[in-house]
Amino acid sequence: MNTEFAQKVFRIVKQIPKGETLSYKQVAILAGNEEAARAVGNILNSNYDLLIPCHRVIRSDGKIGGYNGGARKKKLLLAEECK
């Protein structure tokens, strides 16, 4: 990475409270690039950081989207912590 954008993305996603979910677009906006929703997902995927609750980041459509460990697991994980 080494890019400010990626850094912001990580910081933001890390700060997502338990039970909260943000869309890639929202993260992109908070990161400073509203039109970088795609890049956000790409960054999380390329830099899967266990310190980052990327499972809290979903699509703006409300769909789960993708996940390194499987979208299914991600959904279950969210349901479990949102509890």
Partner DNA sequence: CATTTGACGCCAA
Partner DNA sequence: TTTGGCGCCAAAT
Element (H, E) at 81: helix 71-82
**By CB under 7 A, how many residues form the interface with DNA?**
33
Distance CA 79, CA 75 (A): 6
| Amino acid of residue 43 | I
Annotated catalytic residue, options 27, 54, 58, 78: 54
Binding mask 3-42 for DNA (x = CB under 7 A): x-xx----------------xxx-------x-xxxxxxxx
2 binds DNA (CB under 7 A): yes
Q: By C-beta, is 15 or 46 nearer to DNA? A: 46
Distance CA 70, CA 49 (A): 15
82 is catalytic: no
